[in-house]
Amino acid sequence: MSAVAAVRRLGAMVTEGVWRLGFAARFFLMLLVYSGQSLRRVHLTIREIYFSGVLSLLIIVVSGLFVGLVLGLQGYETLQRFGSGDALGVLVALSLTRELGPVVAGLLFASRAGSAVTAEIGLMKTTEQLKAMDMMAVNPIARVVAPRFWGGVIAMPLLASIFTGMGILGGWLIGVVVIGVDSGAFWSQMQAAVDFRYDIMNGVIKSVVFGVAVSLIAVFEGYDCHPTAEGISRAITRTVVSSALAILALDFILTSFMFRGTS
Amino acid sequence: MGGSGCGKTTLLRLIGGQLRAVGGQVEVDGRDLGALGTDDLYALRRRMGMLFQFGALFTDMSVFENVAFPLREHTDLPESMLRDLVLMKLNAVGLRGAAELATSELSGGMARRVALARAIALDPMLIMYDEPFAGLDPISLGVIGQLIRRLNDALGASTVMVTHDVHESLEIVDYVYFVSDGKIVAEGTPEEIRASSDAFVHQFINAEADGPVPFHYPAPAFGDSLLTRSAT
């Protein structure tokens, strides 16, 4: 009997998963269809860039700085064993532009902005604001969902770039100012080793992909949540967990295509 | 009118096109809602207003912006004319002075009145009210009741009101349908309803526990429930 119940539960989980996946795909399609309407009213998207991007600046700047400081300390400690302390700038810059910038900024973005977007849309659903909008012949996907999605997609690469810049500044502070690595070597080796298209653009592409993933998960979970306090709470949790897993999985896939056989 | 869970709000959602009828037809202004595409449905909804049970005001907007919302979305009126229209609508519900307040600063009754002003912003042909009297104090209840009637007459609109507040609604409506289990069980003018000897109407108007509408949810005998460990 318990085996039958377990199989039934498994079947229900798979069915529910497939249904949600189908609904998410349909939701994404609707989002793209109504994005034109939404993007024509630029002020809506700019407002969301402010809420998702500008209000996330503090955590991005502080975290970027600390990640750079730690990277500088750990990097120098390892490099000096091989007599390559002067290559600290290269290590810091490549680590941040290729991996840490997009990934850590993505994780922070999901925690700070993704959860806020889910909570806001979820609460609008719970208090019937989305239904009221729909009854006023205003499509909630065009008016509420699409601007938040595109706001996140645009904000994410900018935040990742700021994170990377702050990280490099942190690495410089520790390496050059505190430890005493030669400033010229730090910057010139970095300039020589970091390729704009190969390193920086691939990092930007990653951050755009993470921005799409996190923003889509955030708006979908908010739109699809059960309209109760517990439903919103679970949706926020799902946003953070799913976004983190999506970022890490996508990072592996993108890295394997972008940097295959070069390191 | 009808008890909780009898299908009143479902009926409103069918009329508003938020739900599609799986059987039969819902016609508004001579148009079958089931046959309308999204664009046609939205065009029809621009001529409808709906007051939700708890107002459903947009919490990130001021009172003024809530009422201005449908005007901004569906018209290209200059800002000065839009301002005048919004103030006229707010004045009609007695809240012109509250235009700059945030929605979090409103009482339940005030929020309902702002939602009412928003619902009539585009001068609709059909206004729907979902439990407009729920949770209101007696003063707000009387004021909103009279306001609904006056707005209906002033706009020349049709009004569909879903409620289980018998006494207040009988004062302001022209015709009543009683709904139970998704079916119309009684109907008539307020006078006919007051004089009705129908068991359902009698139970409803006199708020009696005994009658065709059971007060208790179906359950085993109370004694049996007390002697067993299960919840019911």
Are the beta carbons of B18 and A131 separated by less than 8 Å?
yes
Q: Is B56 on the interface with A (CB under 8 A)?
A: yes
What pLDDT is attached to residue B216?
Answer: 77
Residues of A in contact with B16 (CB under 8 A): 135
- What residue in A sits closest to B54 (Cα-Cα)? A127
State how far Cα A189 lies from the chain centre. Answer: 29
Pairing of strands B48-51, B126-130: parallel
Q: How far apart are CA B26 and CA A259, in angstroms?
A: 60
Identify the closest residue of chain B to A41 by CA–CA distance: B73
pTM summary value: 0.86
The Cα A36–Cα A134 span in angstroms is 18
- At B165, list the tokens: 């507040």
Of A123, A124, A136, the CB nearest to B70: A136
Q: Would you call B134 an interface residue with chain A, using a CB distance cutoff of 8 Å?
A: no
Evaluate whether A254 touches A99 at the Cβ level (below 8 Å). Answer: no
pLDDT at B170: 87
Single out the residue of A238, A221, A214, A236 nearest to residue A115, CA to CA. A236
Residue A8 tokens read as 């039934």
pLDDT digits (tens, 9 = 90+) for B16-55: 999 988 888 999 988 898 888 888 999 999 999 999 888 8
B3 closest CA partner among B207, B192, B143, B223: B207
- What is the average pLDDT score of chain B? 87
The pLDDT of residue A40 is 84
Count CB-CB contacts under 10 A for residue B127: 22
Residue-level pLDDT at B231: 59
Residue B73: list chain A partners with CB under 8 A: 136-138, 143
Chain A partners within 8 Å of B74 (Cβ): 137
pLDDT attached to residue B182: 77
Q: Starting at the edge strand that comes first in sequence, how are the strands of the sheet with B126-130 ordered?
A: B48-51, B126-130, B158-162
Distance CA B141, CA B146 (A): 9
* Cα–Cα distance, B110 to B63 (Å, whole number): 10
Inter-chain touch A129–B73, beta carbons under 8 Å: no
Q: Determine the 3-state secondary structure of B208 from DSSP.
A: coil
List, in order, residues 6 or more apart from B209 with CB less than 8 Å away. Answer: B215
At residue B186, the pLDDT reads 85
Closest residue, chain B, to A144 (C-alpha)? B58
What does B4-21 look like in DSSP terms, one character per residue? TTSSHHHHHHHHHTSS--
B128's CB contacts (< 8 A; 6+ apart) are B12, B15, B16, B48, B49, B50, B51, B159, B160, B161, B162
Q: What is the largest CA-CA distance in chain A?
A: 73
What are φ and ψ of residue A246, in 5° steps? Answer: -65, -40
Shortest Cα distance, chain B CAs vs residue A89, angstroms: 46
B104-148 per-position pLDDT tens digit? 999 888 888 899 899 989 989 999 998 888 777 788 788 888 888
Residue of B nearest to A142 (CA): B73
B20 touches A at CB < 8 Å: no
Please state the length of chain B: 232
* Adjacent-strand bridge partners of B159: B127
Q: What pLDDT score does A262 carry?
A: 53
For chain B, percent of residues with pLDDT exceeding 90: 34
Q: Which of residues 106-145 of A touch B (CB under 8 A)?
A: 123-124, 127-129, 131-139, 143
Listed by number, the residues of chain B in 23-42 with a beta carbon closer than 8 Å to a beta carbon of chain A are 38, 42
The answer to whether the Cβ–Cβ distance between A129 and B59 falls below 8 Å is yes
**Residue of A204, A187, A156 whose CA lies nearest to A60:** A156
Alpha-carbon distance B70 to nearest alpha carbon in chain A (angstroms): 7
Contact B58 A135 (CB under 8 A): no
Nearest residue to A96 (alpha-carbon basis) of A201, A168, A190, A194: A168
Q: What is the pLDDT along chain A (263 residues), one digit of tens a residue?
A: 688 999 999 999 999 999 989 999 999 999 999 998 888 889 999 999 999 999 999 999 999 999 999 999 999 999 999 888 889 999 999 999 999 999 999 999 999 999 999 999 999 999 999 999 999 999 999 999 999 999 999 999 999 999 999 999 999 999 999 999 999 999 999 999 999 888 999 999 999 999 999 999 999 999 999 999 999 999 999 999 999 999 999 999 999 998 876 54
- pLDDT band for position B230 (50/70/90)? low
Whether residue A43 lies within 8 A of chain B, CB to CB, comes out as no
Q: What is the mean pLDDT of residues B199-224?
A: 79
pLDDT in tens, A37-56: 888 889 999 999 999 999 99
Q: Which pLDDT band holds residue B212 (cuts at 50, 70, 90)?
A: confident
Q: With the C-alpha atoms ordered B109, B110, B113, B118, is the resulting torsion angle positive or negative?
A: negative
pLDDT of residue A251: 95
Mean pLDDT of B137-163: 86
Q: How many CB atoms lie within 10 A of CB B85?
A: 18
Confidence of residue B232 (pLDDT cuts 50, 70, 90): low
A interface test, pick of B9, B42, B48, B53 with most A CB neighbours within 10 Å: B42
**DSSP per position, A101-160:** HHHHHHHHHIIIIIHHHHHHHHHHHHTTHHHHHHHTT--HIIIIIHHHHHHHHHHHHHHH
**What residues in A contact B56, CB-CB < 8 Å?**
127-129, 131-132
DSSP β-bridge partners for residue B183: B180
Sequence-distant (≥ 6) Cβ neighbours of residue A95 within 8 angstroms: A71, A75
Share of chain B above pLDDT 70, in %: 98
